[in-house]
Structure 1
Amino acid sequence: MGRIRPPGQWAAMSLLSLLLFALLQGAALPAAALLGPMVAGILMGVGGATVRIPRAGFVAAQALIGCSVAHAVTGSILVSVGENWPSMVAVVLITVLASGLVGWMLVRFGSLPGSTAAWGSSPGGAAAMVAMAEEFGADPRLVAFMQYFRVVLVVVSASMVSRVLLGDHAALLPAVAPAAVPLQQQAAGVAATLAVAALGGWAGVRLRIPAGGMLVPMILGAALHVAGLAELTVPPWLLALVYATLGWCIGLRFTREVVRHAVRAVPQMLAGTLALIALCGGSAWVLTRMLGTDALTAYLATSPGGLDSVAIIAVGSGANVSFVLALQTLRLFVVILTGPPVARLIARYA
C-alpha cells in the first residue's frame, strides 16, 4: 500500500469506507458512519498506508462533534445533571478504580511494564494519555496501541449494545438539522456552527485544555443554544464527513510497526480491555439503580472509550447526550489528575 501515491491511498480508503459503511448500515448499527471509516483506516494502516489526517483536521472534526452535541443540551438537562452530581462522582471513582485494578493485573500477571500498563489502561482521552505517558517514562507506542485498541473495542461493543437495546429503532446517521428548516435559516445555522467550531477549537488547543478541541466548542455552543442566541446546525453530509475524519484518525494509528511491536501483548490487552468494559458495565448497572437512568445512557456514560467516539454513538442512539458527556468529561479530568500517582503506585506495588 505504501507504494501507491497518496491520492490513490485516499481514494482506496474512501471507497473501502463507503463499502463498510453500507454493510454496517444494512445491519442497523448506530455510528455506522464512524465504524466503517475506522475499520477501513485500520486495514489501510496495517497494510502500510502512509497518509495521515492532519492535526488541524482532527481538531476540526472534534469541534464539529462538540457543536452537534451542544444542540442536544437544554436547560432542564443541565438542572438534572446538577442535581445528580454526587452519584456521578461516585460512578466516576468506581470506573477509575476499575481501570487501576485492570492495570495492576496486567503488570502482576502479564509481561507489560508497570507504568506502560497503568497509562494504557486509563479510561481517559487516548491522545492525552499517550502524551502524558511519554512524559512519565512509559513506552508511548504500547500505550498508544492499548488506548486505541480499547477505543475500537469500546466503539464496536457500544454500537452492538445500542443495536440490541434499540432494536429496529437505532438511528444510523443523526441529522442535527431538521429537513423542514428553510434553506436561509439552515445556512445561518451552519455559519454559526462553523464560527463556534473555529473559535472554540482554536481556544481549546491554544489553552491546552484536555480534549479542548471538542469540549470548548461544546460548552460555548451549549451556552449559546440554551440562551437562545444561536441555533447550531450540522447538515448530514457534513456530519458524515466529520465521522469519517475521526474514524480514519483512529484507524490509521494502527500501523504495521506498532502492531508488530505490540503483538505479543495483544492477548493481555484484549483480556484487560474486556475486563475493563465488564467492570464499567457493572458501574452502569449501579447508575441505573441509583438514578433510574435508562440502561443505554448509563452504559454509554460509563464506557471507557474516547469522549468524541462515545458522543457520536450517544447522538446516534438517542441516549441522554448531555448526561453521557457530563459523566465522560468529569471522568476525563479525574483520570488526568490521578494518572501520574496511580501509574507510580501500580509500577511500585504490582
Structure 2
Amino acid sequence: MPPAFLTSAELRAQGLALLIGVAAGVCAFWVGLPLPWMLGPMIATTIAAMSHVPVRAPMRLRPIVIPIIGVLLGSSVTAQVFGLLQNWVVSLVALPIFLAIASAASFAVYRRLGGYDHITAFYAAMPGGLNEMLIMGEQAGGDGRRIALAHAARILVVIVFVALFFGLVLGVSSGVRGATQWIPLDALTGFDYAVLATCAVLGNWLGTRLGMPAAPVFGPMILSAAAHIAGVVTVSPPTVFIIAAQVTMGTIIGSRFAGASIAQVGRDIALAMVASACMLVVAVLFALGIGWASGIPISQAFLAYSPGGLTEMSLLTLALDQDVTYVSVMHILRITFIIAVAPAIFRIWVGRSGNL
C-alpha cells in the first residue's frame, strides 16, 4: 500500500523511473527487442535501481493500470471459448502436479544450495503472488527481504526468458498485439469508452467485495468479457493503453530492486535465477506433455505454466497474440491454489518434520 502522501523526492524518483522506462521502451522497440514496451523498461530500470540511480516504483499507477489490463484480457474472450473448455481438462488436472514438482525443485535450490532457513526457503519457492507470499512468509517467521527478492527476481527472469525465447527462437516479437491490429484512440465511441471504464471500475469493486482471487484483474476481466460476448461493445481498448500498461508494469518490476546492489544481494539473485530456471524446465516438460495429450499448442501451454506474475504474463500473452483466456485462467488458478494450500502444506510439513 503506497503512503498517503509522497514527498517531492519520492515524486522525482518515480518520475525518473517512468522517464527511464519510456525511453528504454522506445529504444527497445526501434532495435527490435521482443516485447519491447515491457522488457525494455524492465531491464533499464533494474540496471538503474541496482546502480543506485534514485528511482522508485510508481506504485500509485498500479491500481490504475491493472483494472485496465483486466478489461484488455476480457476483450479477447469470445463465446467460442466455452466450446474449448473441454480441451483444458488435461491442463487443469496437471496444474497441481506441476506446482508440486516446480515448488519442490525451487525449494531444493533455496534450502540445499542457498542454505536458507526452512520457512524462508518454503515461501521463496512457492510460485504465488509476490505480495501474498511475502505476507505469509513474514507471518510464519521467514526473512521478508529474501522472500520479496526471490519473487521479484522470479518474475523478472521468467518474463525475460519467455520473451526472448518467443522472439529469438520462435520468431514472435510483436510489441503490441501485432502491427495489423493497432487500435487508434478514435476507433472507440464515447459509449465504448464509458462501457469499458465501467467494466474497469465496477469490476474492480465487485471483485474485491466478493473476495475474488486477483480481484483488480479478474473482476474487470469478467465484466469486459461479458460485455464483449453480449455485443454491448465490440472493440478492444486502444493500443496505446496496452503500451502504457506494459511500460508501467515493466518500470515497477525493475524499480523493485531499488536500494539493492550486486555486491549485497548477488548471491540471492543468482539463487533466484537457478530456482526460476528449474521451474521453467519443469514448465517446458509439462507443456510438451499437455500439447501431446490435449492438442493445445505447446507455446500456449508453456505460457500458461510459466511461473511469472499474473498481470505480467497476461500482458506478455497479449503481446504475443496467444490465447489470453486460457493463459490467464491458468495463472489465476495457480495463484489461487498456492494461496489456498501453501499455509496448510507448511503446517503439515512442519508438524511431521519438526523443523521448527
Runs of 5+ in structure 2 lacking a partner?
1-7
Q: 2:56: which partner in 1?
A: 51
Distance 1:75 1:254 in 2: 42
Q: 2:244: which partner in 1?
A: 241
- 1:196 pairs with one of 199, 203, 208: 199
Residues 286-295 or 255-264, more deviating: 255-264
Residue identity in the other structure for 1:158: V
| RMSD (Å) for aligned C-alpha atoms | 2.9
Is the CA contact (8 Å cut-off) linking 1:59 and 1:214 kept in structure 2?
no
Structure 1 position 295 matched with structure 2 position 298: yes
> What TM-score do you get using the length of structure 2 for normalisation?
0.86
SS across alignment from 1:84: helix
Distance 1:153 1:184 in 2: 36
Distance 1:247 1:320 in 2: 21
Distance 1:177 1:131 in 2: 43
Structure 1 position 213 matched with structure 2 position 216: yes
Q: 1:120: which partner in 2?
A: 124
Seen in structure 2, the aligned counterparts of structure 1 residues 22 and 180 have a Cα distance that, compared at 3 Å, is: closer
Residues 339-348 or 282-291, more deviating: 339-348
What is the CA distance between 1:312 and its match in structure 2?
0.8
Seen in structure 2, the aligned counterparts of structure 1 residues 199 and 209 have a Cα distance that, compared at 3 Å, is: same
Distance 1:300 1:221 in 2: 22
What is the CA distance between 1:323 and its match in structure 2?
1.1
- 2:141 pairs with one of 137, 147, 151: 137
What is the CA distance between 1:213 and its match in structure 2?
0.8
Distance 2:66 2:183 in 1: 27
Distance 1:138 1:78 in 2: 42
Seen in structure 2, the aligned counterparts of structure 1 residues 301 and 29 have a Cα distance that, compared at 3 Å, is: farther
Aligned positions, number: 345
What is the CA distance between 1:38 and its match in structure 2?
1.9
Seen in structure 2, the aligned counterparts of structure 1 residues 195 and 261 have a Cα distance that, compared at 3 Å, is: farther
What is the CA distance between 1:107 and its match in structure 2?
1.4
Q: 2:21: which partner in 1?
A: 17
Is the CA contact (8 Å cut-off) linking 1:118 and 1:342 kept in structure 2?
no
Q: 2:5: which partner in 1?
A: none
Structure 1 position 163 matched with structure 2 position 167: yes
Q: How does 1:47-196 map to 2 (within 5 A)?
A: 47-49=52-54, 51-55=56-60, 57-81=61-85, 83-105=86-108, 106-164=110-168, 166-167=170-171, 170-174=173-177, 183=186, 185-196=188-199
Distance 1:187 1:177 in 2: 24
Seen in structure 2, the aligned counterparts of structure 1 residues 61 and 183 have a Cα distance that, compared at 3 Å, is: closer
Is the CA contact (8 Å cut-off) linking 2:305 and 2:330 kept in structure 1?
yes
- 2:278 pairs with one of 257, 262, 275: 275
SS across alignment from 2:116: coil
Q: 2:233: which partner in 1?
A: 230
Distance 2:298 2:195 in 1: 34
Q: 1:28: which partner in 2?
A: 32
What is the CA distance between 1:237 and its match in structure 2?
2.1
Distance 2:119 2:106 in 1: 9
Is the CA contact (8 Å cut-off) linking 1:28 and 1:163 kept in structure 2?
no
Q: 1:308: which partner in 2?
A: 311
Distance 2:55 2:207 in 1: 28
Is the CA contact (8 Å cut-off) linking 1:111 and 1:265 kept in structure 2?
no
What is the CA distance between 1:232 and its match in structure 2?
5.1
Is the CA contact (8 Å cut-off) linking 2:39 and 2:160 kept in structure 1?
yes
What is the CA distance between 1:31 and its match in structure 2?
2.5
Distance 1:272 1:346 in 2: 21
Distance 1:145 1:63 in 2: 25
SS across alignment from 1:256: coil
Seen in structure 2, the aligned counterparts of structure 1 residues 163 and 111 have a Cα distance that, compared at 3 Å, is: same
SS across alignment from 2:236: coil
Q: State percent identity of aligned pairs.
A: 23
Distance 2:188 2:77 in 1: 20
